[in-house]
Every structure is written in structure tokens, then in C-alpha cells.
Structure 1
């Protein structure tokens, strides 16, 4: 068996590229509804939306695949976020559910990408996966 010699480099950042069909509509969702910040250099074809130290690239038509799933771990009240997103008409795929790995909810963006929002699981409540 060959020895494993991993490549030597430091990972600075990992950010998925989401394929979008309408940049204005996508920015309305990510900036207007979710509170991300649009990059100053963004164009109608390619941009970066970010929050704290994480971001998602948005590419109109050329890169990425429709229906990508993205994990967004956060610290906050998932139930409050859920109620806020429901009030704003966001498509909810999975209401907040307590799993052994996270309390998670899933929402769809305007292009059908699924955003999996998750917080620490509630150890005092039953887990849906057990």
C-alpha cells in the first residue's frame, strides 16, 4: 500500500459557487431576506454574498449546478429565524428539527438551492434520527 503524503497547503476559505438565473432576485433573497452583504465588486453576472467570515458566490448561468445543498451553521435561535423566514414567504423544506448532529431547518432559495441552517442540537429533547 502506498504511503499517504497529503499536499502541503493551508486552506484559507471554502465558498461554494451557486448557479443563479437572475442576480437581482438572488440578491433580494440573500441580502434583503437573509441579511448577507453583497460584495462591492459584484456584477450582474458574478458576486459574493457574505456574513461574518463566510460567503457564497453567485454566478449567473455559468458555474455551479441547480439544486446545490449548502450547510450554514450558526449560533442563534433557529425557531425565531424560522418564524421570520415563514413571514417573509421563504420556501421551507424542513421546519426546525432536532437531530443528533444539529437542530436543523432547510429552506430553498429562488433557484432551488437548499440551505441547511443548523445550530447545536438540544440534548434535552428527543432526536428525530433516533
Structure 2
């Protein structure tokens, strides 16, 4: 194998860690409204939830500013379906003003202000 060839790269999984002001409220929103499930975790100041292959973790904070300045971006080819599902669940999903018709991107804020952004794959520049 030459230096230019690469060995098989291990798969990496990124897990966002967001602040929470109150785990009960965070749990109610993500489990009760967004369809996540709580992962049993033996720690009083940490919360882990998952939905399908997605995992989110939360740490306990007493500073609302941290929540209001934290975000995670969810990329999916099914953005419109996710948008309709959240709206059907009564979740307020905000669509950018420049979006016409069904959204290709939108965002939701959790009870503490964490920003959850949803969008499709980025546009690729044309090859030159």
C-alpha cells in the first residue's frame, strides 16, 4: 500500500452535548414531543436520549445564556416530512422568510432556548 492509499477509515459518530436548565422539562420536550427515548444513565447531572441512530446528550446548567447560544444541525433528505411531523405534534417550527412552498430548512427551540436546525444536503458547487 502506498502512502497515497488510505486504509479503511473507522466510522465516527458525532453526539451533540447541549445544556439543560431542568432535566424534567428537557425530557418532557424531547421524549414527549419529539419522540426520543431516554437512555438509562447512572448520573444525576447528565441526560442521554436517542431516536433511531441519533443520540443527544445534555448537561445540567444554571445559566440560560448557555442554552440560548447552543445549537445542533440535523441534516436529512426528509426535511419536509420532519417538518410536517413536528407541526402535526403541535411543535412550533420556524421557516426562514425566503422559503417558498414547503420548507427545505427550518428550526425549533427547546424549552430552554437550544436551537434545533433542520435542513437538507448543502448545494454542491458545479465542477470547473
Same fold (TM over 0.5): yes
Structure 1 residues 11-90: aligned runs within 5 Å:
12-41=12-41, 43-61=43-61, 65-67=66-68, 68-76=70-78, 78-90=79-91
SS at match of 1:115: strand
Residues 98-125 of structure 1: per-residue CA shift (max 9 Å, x gap): 7xxx92111111111111112357xxxx
Task: Give the CA RMSD over aligned residues.
Answer: 3.4
Quote the Cα distance in structure 2 between the aligned partners of 1:84 and 1:34: 9
* Contact persistence 2:21–2:62 (CA under 8 A): no
Larger Rg: 2
Residue 115 (structure 2) aligns with: 114
Corresponding position of 2:6: none
* Structure with higher strand content: 1
The answer on whether the counterparts of 1:23 and 1:44 sit within 8 Å (CA) in structure 2 is: no
- Give the structure with the higher percent helix: 2
CA separation in 2, counterparts of 1:79 and 1:12?
Answer: 27
The runs of at least 4 consecutive aligned structure 1 residues that moved more than 4 Å come to: none
Q: Give the drift of 1:33.
A: 1.4
Unaligned runs of at least 5 residues, structure 2:
1-8, 123-128
Asked which structure has the greater RCO (Cα within 8 Å, sep 6+), the reply is 2
| Contact persistence 2:18–2:57 (CA under 8 A) | yes
